Structure 1
Amino acid sequence: MKKIKILLGIIITVIAFTSCNDYLEEENLSNVAAEEFYLTEEGFESLITANYSQLREIYGDEPWLFSAGTDLYAEGRQQEPPGLSQYSQLTPSSEGVEYLYDQGYEAIQIANMALHYSEITEQNDEVDLRVGEIKYLRANAYFLLVQTYGGVPLVTDYISDVVLEFDRSSAEEIYDFIISELEGSLSLVEGGNYIGRVNKRAVRHLLAKVYLTRAYEEYGSPSDFETAANYADEAIAGQELNLSFEELWWPGNDLNEEVIFSVQFDQSSVSTDPQNLGHTQSSFFGPAFGGVENAGIEPYRTFTLVPTGCAVDLFEEGDDRWEGTFMVEMYEQYYDFYRVQDHSNLAVLHYYAPKWENSPADQAAYEAEHPEAVYHPYGTYFPEVSRNFDYYNIAIRKFDDPGAPYGEGRVSTRDIILSRLGETYLIAAEAYLMAGNNATGLERLNVVRERANADPATLSEFTIDYILDERGRELMGEYHRWFDLKRTGKLVERASACHYLIEESNFEGANGELKILRPIPQLAIDLNRNPNFQQNPAYQ
């Protein structure tokens, strides 16, 4: 039996598929046998597993569309895809443009297949529950697509033959569909604690974000901000942020009480091929630490997404997220930070000084206490200043995976957290601000700052820019930043101010349009026999 293959979401060839552990595997089964299999309880559950597994493909590989070309991450020694990271060279044929389009439509077709069989498979008490889960996953795929590319083909039926012609629905129609799907999901899925499956809280969190995002669009409803705030508050459900930021991100604590939804990984399910079945999040956000000779001593880093000066400057003294986000003090054995409880006897290899320790006296005091350490003064470890040597940039450590093998590729097996309670509070804060209820929005934001031991924000400084700064501090390295800047209309302003390879003019596209949306992949245009299927205006 052959695995589903979707070519850029336009030519869609669908055969049947099954599962082995967490991933689909090819089997020599006829289509008739496959259909019979999906009519059984076991076969239908294999389709559900396939839907969850597709999340690993959407988020597990190179995350350019989520992070590159923003204010917080810039190119280090290794080159990013220049189109996605710099915009001036962004075309429909640019490297990486098709990735999310391909993976998103593969997720949609797998979901369509599961929903098709849900109506004819052996019925039991869990079929409706699984339908609710699949509706969430399909809505999530469409949400990624509409934010990235604008209006896209709306495909809701399971397609078992080759389709060569698609219409392009408007972004407004896609948002209407997403909301309808999520409302349907909310009526079907279970409540309770998150244990790896979609539940009501995950749906409410995503509904809040969808309404918040649509509210900024010209076709958004005047009530969207208020609706977003209400859904966020329902997802919060009175729960406080009880974990420290350190506990929140400690390796092995991926399924903690604040996680709302995540992409699930485990070592056993990827052990046969960890460089293709794991993910890259742990390797993306930091400098090189030397070559293969350091295997077992230092983690592998791609050296392609390095925190900018703007990212570092977000943090103030006393904010726990400074040391909770960055590996500020690096030991001779990098992972001793996690493996050794008492750090006082460990030799420091490198130290990255924060902006509040920016005097010769500060440096002299640290070097006197740690004569073995290489001291990196504040301002010297930004990619716009230095990026050509090992250890010369600060590393984001939130996603460190001490259990991952050394090597390039998808080696990490920590979960990728897509939704968590701290972000829900920030969604509520933004929604209340934009709805005109500044006082309540500020209360939600200061819950997040209180957990970080940061000074509370005041009403006079509570603006959309402050919220973006706070999202940077709280969510650094998580897969939100490009969407955050696009949603709030701050992409051009912030990326050009903070990314050393981006000028405002880089965004200038065809027809007087800015390159805010990504282009529809050129091959998808070429293969579609619908002559009215149009490219986004900035790329025509």
Structure 2
Amino acid sequence: MTINRKLKLSSVALTLMALLSTSCQSVLDQEFRSELGPEFFATAGGLEGGITASYSIMRFFWGSEGFTYTANAGTDESILGASDGDRTYFEYANILPSNGNITGIWNNAYQAINNLNGVLKFGPSANIDAARRTTLLAEAKFLRAFYYFELVKTFGDVPLSLQFIDVPTTSAARAPIADVYAAIIKDLTEAIQELPNTATPSKGRAAKPAALHLLSKVYLTRGWSAAAQPTDFQNAYTTAKQLIDNQATYGVGLEQDFANVHREGNEYGKEVLFVVDRNTDPSYAESQFNNSPQIANGNKENRSNFFWVSLYTNALNVNAGISGAPNNTIAVMDRDLRNGRPFRRFRPTNYTLNTAFGDRANDSRYFKTFQSAWIFNRTVPVTTSRGTLAVGDTAIWMPGVEVTEAQRRAFKGVIIAPSQYTADLHPTMTKYAAVNRLTVNESSYRPYILFRLADTYLLAAEAYIKDNKPAEAATLINAVRQRAAYRATNTAAQNTAAAAALTITPAQATIDFLLDERTRELYGEYVRWQDLVRTQTLKTRLERYNPTPGFRDFHVLRPIPQSQIDLTTTGPKFPQNPGY
């Protein structure tokens, strides 16, 4: 399918969407393309295209700046850097129903859902190989469940439409979360029966591992909610264990080295279950590389490589801590591809640095999550009171601990200890570093990892804890922690000793410990706000680790977009979430 046809299909989907679904004023302005009407979904190209378009919509979420705020800001893990980024989500006080980022979640999810409803209505009659048709329809069920899960986690009760809408309507009603969860579970249960064991040609397509992981998380999340069923936690760990216990069948497994999980070029590695596909092909990149008019505002670019980067170009050669030594205001680094574009939207909290990542002797993940050294890259050497920096020297060092004057005197470059961290200068999180770009200011072509197996282990452990099975939970947590002990530079004996030191007992397997472990393993992976909402700990963790005066109890849900309320003009008024 060409990119042009894909774009046309998206336009048709927008045309046919109901106001119930989109609440988007621009729906009424769309041009109807008669050559690609609803029956197009019944053709081989239409069936393939409907699925492709629905995957593509994920790029409005993972990698976009607005969604990044909604997923990571206002938690115990991250605070705002020195940039001019959106403070709204960090401070909570000004989250409004008119917020475009929240409206984007609603509109884009419902656009995908109506595409998928069309696929599931017309696709069964498509003239296409029967096995391929079965797989595509299973992917449609997976994707519809995926988008509804994002909606119910974000907004609570939401409109539930499982039928293709081709006539706009001005009426809408919210379905109880119990009904939404039931629909999600039905779709995923059926999809698991029909999806292949492994994804082809990339892990950007749903396969059984992704569906099992998602279904486990759905059961777990419902189990914490007002719609909980008695067997939810048991179903959550049983489903996760189906994946964990049969990982060889599904072609997945934990990486030996945590450093390889997010290594550039390993986005389809063995630990990965599902990604948002991206690369330099214009059909997938949707970045500045191809200047696609579809994304002129950057909403589908993957800018994750920018958001976490410190202002390393402003690290001046100030000999802090060396009494009587002169200051030198020459910067020791230039901006380059390897170190990235310093948007500094996010920086780690003291909790993240000192509590979650407090053990750095046995646990290797701190130095595999955060950059601690910057190698001198200026074309002209820089002379300090301690020597001359040339290419290959360490220009900036963030050791993660305080240092002595003697250590500073022995180091030619700039040492930035924790007491010197600022909103500009702080450890850079490196999971999304993208060296393979054409220019330094260019967004990333890397696929975005959405689901991975270590998370499956931790979700299962959470379910075991909730089902009063701490021994089983500890076993799964220990599998993740013992992997974290591995360092390629260690001897086998040293790695064994570190793994033993990180092994926990069943008594330690608590929700509080698990949340710390999720920070160590999943920091910055767009799950923290929902983790804290799911486990009903958002308020207490903020109070303990990141006091946020603007937070109120109702902030565990986002506001219903004002456009949805305004465009519901027939029947009962569309209700807003409490507090907004």
TM-score (norm 1): 0.86
Q: Measure how far apart 1:184 and its partner are.
A: 1.3
Give yes or no for the alignment of 1:46 onto 2:49.
yes
User: For residues 333 and 115 of structure 1, do their structure 2 counterparts lie closer, same or farther at Cα, with a shift above 3 Å needed?
Assistant: farther
Partner of 1:136: 142
Partner of 1:65: 70
Give yes or no for the alignment of 1:272 onto 2:277.
no
Match for residue 185 of structure 2 among 176, 179, 187? 179
Partner of 1:152: 158
Give yes or no for the alignment of 1:514 onto 2:536.
no
Give yes or no for the alignment of 1:376 onto 2:416.
yes
Partner of 2:306: 283
Match for residue 451 of structure 1 among 467, 476, 483? 483
CA distance in structure 2 between the aligned counterparts of 1:251 and 1:10, rounded to whole angstroms: 36
Give yes or no for the alignment of 1:395 onto 2:437.
no
| Contact 1:298–1:333, Cα closer than 8 Å, also in 2 | no
CA distance in structure 2 between the aligned counterparts of 1:364 and 1:348, rounded to whole angstroms: 17
Aligned length: 498
User: In structure 2, the residue corresponding to 1:537 is in which secondary structure?
Assistant: coil
Give yes or no for the alignment of 1:346 onto 2:392.
yes
CA distance in structure 2 between the aligned counterparts of 1:179 and 1:188, rounded to whole angstroms: 14
User: In structure 2, the residue corresponding to 1:349 is in which secondary structure?
Assistant: strand
1:437-448 equivalence runs, <5 A: 437-448=469-480
What do residues 262-309 of structure 1 show as CA deviations (whole Å, max 9, x unaligned)? Answer: 111011223412784531222112323449973546411321111111
User: For residues 520 and 138 of structure 1, do their structure 2 counterparts lie closer, same or farther at Cα, with a shift above 3 Å needed?
Assistant: same
User: For residues 452 and 32 of structure 1, do their structure 2 counterparts lie closer, same or farther at Cα, with a shift above 3 Å needed?
Assistant: same
| Contact 2:375–2:395, Cα closer than 8 Å, also in 1 | yes
Give yes or no for the alignment of 1:538 onto 2:579.
yes
Match for residue 112 of structure 1 among 109, 117, 138? 117
| Contact 1:39–1:120, Cα closer than 8 Å, also in 2 | yes
User: For residues 232 and 165 of structure 1, do their structure 2 counterparts lie closer, same or farther at Cα, with a shift above 3 Å needed?
Assistant: same
What do residues 144-202 of structure 1 show as CA deviations (whole Å, max 9, x unaligned)? Answer: 11111101111211112222111110111111111111111112111136632211111
Which residue identity does 1:514 align to in structure 2?
F
User: For residues 14 and 69 of structure 1, do their structure 2 counterparts lie closer, same or farther at Cα, with a shift above 3 Å needed?
Assistant: closer
User: In structure 2, the residue corresponding to 1:98 is in which secondary structure?
Assistant: helix
Q: Measure how far apart 1:379 and its partner are.
A: 3.8
CA distance in structure 2 between the aligned counterparts of 1:536 and 1:35, rounded to whole angstroms: 34
CA distance in structure 2 between the aligned counterparts of 1:92 and 1:408, rounded to whole angstroms: 32
Which residue identity does 2:274 align to in structure 1?
F
Which residue identity does 1:330 align to in structure 2?
W
CA distance in structure 1 between the aligned counterparts of 2:40 and 2:163, rounded to whole angstroms: 20
* Long gaps (5+) in structure 1: 16-25, 335-343
User: For residues 180 and 296 of structure 1, do their structure 2 counterparts lie closer, same or farther at Cα, with a shift above 3 Å needed?
Assistant: closer
Give yes or no for the alignment of 1:222 onto 2:230.
yes
Between 111-120 and 164-173, the greater mean CA deviation after superposition: 111-120
CA distance in structure 1 between the aligned counterparts of 2:344 and 2:542, rounded to whole angstroms: 19
CA distance in structure 2 between the aligned counterparts of 1:30 and 1:3, rounded to whole angstroms: 6
Partner of 1:122: 127
User: In structure 1, the residue corresponding to 2:395 is in which secondary structure?
Assistant: strand
User: In structure 2, the residue corresponding to 1:515 is in which secondary structure?
Assistant: helix
Partner of 2:516: 469
| Contact 1:164–1:527, Cα closer than 8 Å, also in 2 | yes
Partner of 2:342: 301
| Contact 2:42–2:124, Cα closer than 8 Å, also in 1 | no
Which residue identity does 2:526 align to in structure 1?
Y
Give yes or no for the alignment of 1:328 onto 2:411.
no
Give yes or no for the alignment of 1:246 onto 2:255.
no
User: In structure 1, the residue corresponding to 2:274 is in which secondary structure?
Assistant: strand
Between 224-233 and 398-407, the greater mean CA deviation after superposition: 398-407
Partner of 2:21: 9
Kindly name which structure, 1 or 2, has the bigger radius of gyration based on alpha carbons: 2
User: For residues 83 and 180 of structure 1, do their structure 2 counterparts lie closer, same or farther at Cα, with a shift above 3 Å needed?
Assistant: same
Give yes or no for the alignment of 1:526 onto 2:549.
no
CA distance in structure 1 between the aligned counterparts of 2:35 and 2:337, rounded to whole angstroms: 49
Which residue identity does 2:129 align to in structure 1?
N
Q: Measure how far apart 1:496 and its partner are.
A: 3.6
| Contact 1:229–1:427, Cα closer than 8 Å, also in 2 | yes
User: In structure 2, the residue corresponding to 1:225 is in which secondary structure?
Assistant: helix
User: For residues 123 and 90 of structure 1, do their structure 2 counterparts lie closer, same or farther at Cα, with a shift above 3 Å needed?
Assistant: same
| Contact 1:327–1:397, Cα closer than 8 Å, also in 2 | yes
Partner of 1:364: 406
CA distance in structure 1 between the aligned counterparts of 2:467 and 2:83, rounded to whole angstroms: 42
CA distance in structure 2 between the aligned counterparts of 1:527 and 1:187, rounded to whole angstroms: 39
CA distance in structure 1 between the aligned counterparts of 2:432 and 2:342, rounded to whole angstroms: 12
Which residue identity does 2:532 align to in structure 1?
L
What do residues 428-477 of structure 1 show as CA deviations (whole Å, max 9, x unaligned)? Answer: 11111111110010000000000010511223322101100000000011
Match for residue 191 of structure 1 among 171, 185, 197? 197
CA distance in structure 2 between the aligned counterparts of 1:143 and 1:30, rounded to whole angstroms: 31
User: For residues 326 and 149 of structure 1, do their structure 2 counterparts lie closer, same or farther at Cα, with a shift above 3 Å needed?
Assistant: same
CA distance in structure 1 between the aligned counterparts of 2:57 and 2:509, rounded to whole angstroms: 38
| Contact 1:8–1:521, Cα closer than 8 Å, also in 2 | no
| Contact 1:10–1:164, Cα closer than 8 Å, also in 2 | no
| Contact 1:449–1:456, Cα closer than 8 Å, also in 2 | yes
| Contact 1:350–1:375, Cα closer than 8 Å, also in 2 | yes
CA distance in structure 1 between the aligned counterparts of 2:575 and 2:160, rounded to whole angstroms: 15
Partner of 1:23: none
User: In structure 1, the residue corresponding to 2:62 is in which secondary structure?
Assistant: helix
Identity of matched residues, %: 29
User: In structure 1, the residue corresponding to 2:563 is in which secondary structure?
Assistant: helix
CA distance in structure 1 between the aligned counterparts of 2:44 and 2:147, rounded to whole angstroms: 25
CA distance in structure 2 between the aligned counterparts of 1:34 and 1:403, rounded to whole angstroms: 40
User: For residues 297 and 40 of structure 1, do their structure 2 counterparts lie closer, same or farther at Cα, with a shift above 3 Å needed?
Assistant: closer
User: In structure 1, the residue corresponding to 2:106 is in which secondary structure?
Assistant: helix
Which residue identity does 2:163 align to in structure 1?
D
Q: Measure how far apart 1:515 and its partner are.
A: 2.0
CA distance in structure 2 between the aligned counterparts of 1:443 and 1:156, rounded to whole angstroms: 40
Partner of 1:317: 360
| Contact 2:25–2:563, Cα closer than 8 Å, also in 1 | no
Q: Measure how far apart 1:206 and its partner are.
A: 0.5
CA distance in structure 1 between the aligned counterparts of 2:41 and 2:83, rounded to whole angstroms: 45
Partner of 1:100: 105
| Contact 2:23–2:563, Cα closer than 8 Å, also in 1 | no
Q: Measure how far apart 1:359 and its partner are.
A: 4.9
CA distance in structure 1 between the aligned counterparts of 2:229 and 2:41, rounded to whole angstroms: 41
CA distance in structure 2 between the aligned counterparts of 1:14 and 1:211, rounded to whole angstroms: 36
Q: Measure how far apart 1:489 and its partner are.
A: 0.8
| Contact 2:158–2:175, Cα closer than 8 Å, also in 1 | yes
User: In structure 2, the residue corresponding to 1:117 is in which secondary structure?
Assistant: helix
Partner of 1:163: 169
Partner of 2:527: 480
User: For residues 219 and 452 of structure 1, do their structure 2 counterparts lie closer, same or farther at Cα, with a shift above 3 Å needed?
Assistant: same
CA distance in structure 2 between the aligned counterparts of 1:430 and 1:173, rounded to whole angstroms: 24
